[in-house]
Amino acid sequence: MQLRFFSVLFLIFIFFAEHLTMLVAGSDVRAMFIFGDSIVDTGNNDFLDTNLKMKYYPYGIDFPFGPTGRATNARNPADILGELLGLPPFLPVFYDPLTKGSSVLAGVNYASVGSGVLDSTNQDEDIVPLSHQITNFQKATLSDLRSQLNGSSELSSYLSQSIFLVSSGAVDYLSDCFESGQINCNLEEFTELLVGNFTEQLKRLYESGARKFVVLNTQPIGCRPSARQLNNGSCVKAYNDASIVFNNVLRVALDELSEEVPGFMFSYVDMFGIVSSMIDDPATYGLKVINESCCVKVKQLGNPKCEEGVEPCADRRSYAYYDATHPTETVYRQICERAYASQLISDVYPFNVKHIASLRSEYFSTSLSLSSKPWANDA
């Protein structure tokens, strides 16, 4: 037990040593608030009565604190972007009873494994859809923040210097449109519905005081190991085409929002393009295995999650996917580093995360009238 305790302390020391430079570089950001699905959930589902949990070995095998609900072997984009922005490590999850008071000042994670943009997605599971996540921010966290800060003026400045990270949409397609390698919905109509709901949720965050958004688009979901099983080991083109349609419509919608809404700033991270480049040329990114899961055997792919207690692959850094649907930390880290600093609009559009993080609150011309919002005085 004592040896394990010192091992954890050593890992934490290494973590801070590795990221000291980034902590200094990202000091302009006050906090980060995270919304979405399993790409960014860091443990909310652990506190819910749902089967969609990942708090068991071999998840978290390379994470300092072991299995925590992250759907990968170690850190996910919420953790890595937080590091790059200079925030304290491992922001608290909303459903942890300890997440209140001063603990929310560096940010909160509201994401829920299995959630979607639409309230109807996975409604038979006790998960939290995007709209409810935002309600949690509005009705609980804003009250905590107001009590910690010096009134609405201070809160307005704080929120305008915070990052709002959102990753949602893929689960809606997986639940409502995909079946055995085929599309079973009207793709154009469903996408318009989905993006319309997505932008409405972003507007709710904006009206709550958010100004700086980082939006992750959907990765090539047709190239996940669970999808490849349906197509003799090859990517499922129909699924990837659906991702492309959603991503294109979402990017246009974000552009329109930035034109219509004063002070709305965003970084649109092209996870689809970045992951596709890794799949097309894995060696360049230090990868060797892009078509198989590290922890799920091919014969078990009917269940895309890691089987509890089963030993994963030994060389996890060389795998693109940890379970049958989620990338490894190796992939997530390269996505986030490009999102943070890349100068290519094919990686992140129209500005990288570092750029919007550096903008001071004076840049935003619209003042925030938080006291006029219906949730402003909620206890």
Apex CA 31: angle with CA 251 and CA 52, to 5°? 70
Q: Which of 226, 231, 233, 338 is nearest to 275 (CA)?
A: 338
What pLDDT does 27 receive? 52
323 part of the active site:
yes
347 part of the active site:
no
* Residue 333 to residue 181: CA distance in whole angstroms: 29
The domain limits of the chain are 29-361
Looking at the chain, list the stretches that DSSP marks H as alpha helix, in order from N- to C-terminal side: 2-18, 20-25, 77-84, 130-136, 142-148, 151-160, 170-176, 187-207, 225-228, 237-260, 271-280, 329-341, 353-358
355 part of the active site:
no
What pLDDT does 151 receive? 74
Q: Position 227: which residue type?
A: A
Top CATH class, 29-361: alpha beta
What pLDDT does 9 receive? 46
Q: Which of 37, 62, 79, 323 is catalytic?
A: 323
Q: N- to C-terminal Cα distance for the chain?
A: 43
What pLDDT does 265 receive? 96
With a CB cutoff of 8 Å and minimum separation 6, the contacts of 202 are: 166, 213, 215, 257
350: preceding bond cis by omega (within 30 degrees): yes
Q: Which of 19, 38, 79, 160 is catalytic?
A: 38
Token digits for 275?
Answer: 């992951």
Three-state DSSP at 33 gives strand
DSSP state, residue 285: G
- What does each C-alpha distance from 143 to 152, 160, 165, 371 come to in angstroms? 11, 17, 20, 11
Q: Which of 46, 62, 226, 326 is catalytic?
A: 326
Token digits for 215?
Answer: 């939006």
Q: What is the mean pLDDT of each run of 10 residues along the chain (379 residues)?
A: 45 42 56 98 97 96 97 98 97 97 96 97 94 98 93 89 98 93 94 98 98 98 95 95 98 97 96 98 97 78 84 97 97 98 98 94 49 36
